[in-house]
Homo-oligomer: A and B are copies of this chain.
Amino acid sequence: MLTTHSLLERTLGHKKRAIRKGAILKVEGDTSRQTFYVREGWLAASQSLPDGDRQILEFVLPGETYDPTGADGRTSFVKIEAPCEAVVVAMDTSAWTRLLQDHPDLWLEERRAANAVQARRAERMLRMGKSSAETRIAYVLIELYLRLSKGEPSEKHGFHVPLTQKDLGDYAGLSSVHVCRTLRRLSRQGVITTGDHMNICVHDMSTLADLADVDLGTLRREIVPTSA
């Protein structure tokens, strides 16, 4: 089975670039038509209001690609930055598109990944529109956990989130102060513990799932692309 990963490792691996924390890979409104593939670390795709408020639309995790092209096929309207150190491959979108058209397997895989992105945004929007801060944070933690553990459930449910609480707030639609309060409340309830630098350990996954209004199995099938 040809996967995005194996193909890119073979053919484009030499183009990889190390990215510093806080680096901006692409600004809103430029026309360079790049598609990004993340090998290590995370990227954040965000959009901002004139007053500077930022909404993070998507985190791009290791092994994922992100094509920020807008509806005119030329311009990208999102900003892409690195919330932590990362290693990425930046490739020309038209080359990438040709590659996809030549490899139906790959195309299907990317189509599913795109569906997963849609589904994640949908779930997050649902909670941004209708749910409390506790539900939003619980959902975001579960989403990240599922994506990071890619269907291989670990025993400890511990994972590292290489983000500040401000970043997390910009993803969940909350202020950093309220992210802090909400994490503290979850931790006081014994659902999670937080370690240094946003190391999060989930102690009671089923309570967290309840808080997030989520069925774990269903959500996994919905938002984590299956390579099957």
Contacts and interface: CB of A to CB of B under 8 A. Distances in A.
10 contacts: A49-B126, A57-B122, A70-B119, A70-B222, A71-B113, A71-B221, A73-B108, A73-B115, A101-B107, A130-B173
Given A72-B222, A75-B222, A128-B128, 11 more contacts: A47-B125, A47-B126, A49-B131, A71-B116, A71-B119, A73-B226, A75-B221, A77-B122, A77-B222, A124-B125, A125-B125
A47 B131 contact: no
Contacts of A114: 114
Contacts of A124: 125
Interface of A: 29, 47-51, 53-55, 57, 69-73, 75, 77-78, 97, 101, 104, 107-108, 111-119, 121-131, 170, 172-173, 213, 218, 221-226
B221 A72 contact: yes
A117 B71 CA distance: 8
A173 B221 contact: no
B226 A55 contact: no
A102 B125 CA distance: 34
Given A126-B49, A130-B53, A115 B222 contact: no
How many protomers of this protein does the assembly include?
2
A80 to B, nearest CB: 13
Nearest to A45: B122
Given A213-B50, A222-B70, A222-B71, A77 B126 contact: no
A71 B112 contact: yes
Contacts of A73: 108, 112, 115, 226
B123 A121 contact: no
A128 B173 contact: yes
